[in-house]
A and B are shown apart, each in its own frame.
Chain A
């Protein structure tokens, strides 16, 4: 346990001492802020126009149909997902590729730690760094809660969904980073993989049967949608947990097999 703790501490230190984590956190806050602003601004304009219309028609019920949850929060969470697809590769690219390049893998792999402990320590350290992005999302949601009165349920599931996405994507990014010596290769390969998961069901509408079901089953946004709308299915949870497990398993296998080259 103390060895895993040592690995987590070192990972955090490495990340926080390097500018990359700070740049990614800042970019996330900035871009998320921009999305937040545009969604809220749109909503305000619609409310204003509708208010005029409602007064003209002398019917206040129309206003009731404008829903902060559907029009702002669901959109906001979907935008957060896009940001994670772009930004998490930058956080995970370094994790093992840089160890290989600096030769520090020779230290880790000759120390009395098992590949499982190594993966656990490094992954949890990574997760703490990418988990900060979820805190960034909490910040914007808190503003909505302070000034508006959205439903709590979809917010809770949305944040839980974001946490799952971050955990799963971090695991995949980490796995890719164990397969190469180059940070750039790790970043590009991770990003391509994420993007593929993001767009994989685009042709689904024009297909049918098993093909369609298969494409939809792989899709990242399709499984996140429920979380953003407060309508979670267990299959969505299974999807993210499977990605997470596949990532960690790949990382562990790659690290364990390095000895046997």
Chain B
């Protein structure tokens, strides 16, 4: 569903991505893990067609992000790091606009809005101005925006940031519920986050993939933390090869 190979992105002299390669299969929920500044947001922005890469290829739902960006956008739900909210609109107005912008028309739009309001727990605030909502609710509106048109692929950049533990638990359940019907790639720098919601973790460090590990009973919890720390401690892994398969074996074994 998502295929990325050899992605390179430079901001001036600084290389943010130096050859990122990974795959996400249909129906998977994959965590994109890494310390701040590792290149998570840049990768997600390229996948969402907001930015373009300098080298390498990326395909979402079978479409190239450069050559067929409109086809990618039609199949994509995207929550950026900063939720893109119209603060002076009500939740319902905003979600209606997002649905219309993605081509959900007429009656289907009303159903889609009500269903996503329900799923994201927005019913009590649906008529309120987004600017007056708490950070937790805003984050949920951002999530609702990414889901309102039932996209095949959902990309979430730090979806639970700024939420209280109770809300985090709800959002995690919501994201887990997307498995199967949607393909989800979410970024996070919080380990338990990924361990609890995802079936696989891709660790990115200094613009490269440092590890790619399935999450099962063994890797969840302490195992994943070790993997993460080992993968992101650059001195311990001096030469990270470009292909993701090799470090995976190295780290897991």
Expressed in whole angstroms, the minimum distance between the Cβ of B232 and any Cβ of chain A is 27
How many angstroms between the C-alpha atoms of A106 and B82 in the bound complex? Answer: 9
**In the complex, which of the residues B49, B70, B83 contacts A114, with contact meaning CB atoms closer than 8 Å?**
B70
Expressed in whole angstroms, the minimum distance between the Cβ of A120 and any Cβ of chain B is 13
**In the complex, which of the residues B52, B84, B86 contacts A10, with contact meaning CB atoms closer than 8 Å?**
B86
Does residue A148 face the partner (Cβ distance < 8 Å to B)?
A: no
Q: Tell me if A260 and B52 are in contact (CB < 8 A).
A: yes
Q: Tell me if B89 and A259 are in contact (CB < 8 A).
A: no
**In the complex, which of the residues A6, A103, A259 contacts B97, with contact meaning CB atoms closer than 8 Å?**
A6
Q: Tell me if B102 and A112 are in contact (CB < 8 A).
A: yes
How many angstroms between the C-alpha atoms of A219 and B105 in the bound complex? Answer: 46
Does residue A107 face the partner (Cβ distance < 8 Å to B)?
A: yes
One of B71-79, B177-185, B233-241 at the interface: B71-79
Chain B interface SS verdict (over half): loop
Q: Tell me if A112 and B74 are in contact (CB < 8 A).
A: yes
How many angstroms between the C-alpha atoms of A109 and B48 in the bound complex? Answer: 9
| B-facing residues in A1-27 (Cβ within 8 Å) | 2-3, 5-7, 9-10, 13-14, 17-18
Does residue A113 face the partner (Cβ distance < 8 Å to B)?
A: yes
Q: Tell me if B100 and A106 are in contact (CB < 8 A).
A: no
Query: With A17-B88, A112-B103 as given contacts, are A103 and B83 in contact (CB-CB < 8 Å)?
Result: yes
**In the complex, which of the residues B51, B83, B102, B105 contacts A111, with contact meaning CB atoms closer than 8 Å?**
B102
Residue of A nearest to B48 (CB): A110
Q: Tell me if B84 and A107 are in contact (CB < 8 A).
A: yes
Residues of B in contact (CB 8 Å), total: 29
Q: Tell me if A111 and B89 are in contact (CB < 8 A).
A: no
Q: Tell me if A111 and B82 are in contact (CB < 8 A).
A: no
How many angstroms between the C-alpha atoms of A104 and B83 in the bound complex? Answer: 8
Query: With A109-B50, A110-B76, A259-B52 as given contacts, are A103 and B100 in contact (CB-CB < 8 Å)?
Result: no
Query: With A10-B86, A14-B86 as given contacts, are A110 and B78 in contact (CB-CB < 8 Å)?
Result: yes
Does residue B198 face the partner (Cβ distance < 8 Å to A)?
A: no
| A-facing residues in B54-92 (Cβ within 8 Å) | 70, 73-74, 76, 78, 80, 82-89
Give the 9 A-B residue pairs with the shortest CB-CB distance, closest first: A6-B100, A107-B84, A103-B82, A112-B73, A104-B84, A106-B80, A17-B88, A111-B101, A110-B48
Contacts beyond the supplied A14-B88, A104-B85, A259-B50: 6 A-B pairs with Cβ under 8 Å: A106-B80, A106-B82, A110-B48, A110-B76, A112-B103, A259-B49
Binding site for B on A (CB under 8 A): 2-3, 5-7, 9-10, 13-14, 17-18, 102-114, 259-261
Contacts A/B (CB < 8 Å), 22 sampled: A2-B100, A3-B100, A3-B101, A3-B103, A10-B89, A13-B88, A17-B89, A102-B84, A102-B87, A105-B84, A106-B50, A106-B80, A106-B84, A109-B50, A110-B48, A112-B101, A112-B102, A112-B103, A114-B70, A259-B49, A259-B50, A259-B52
Binding site for A on B (CB under 8 A): 45, 48-52, 70, 73-74, 76, 78, 80, 82-89, 93, 97-98, 100-103, 105, 145
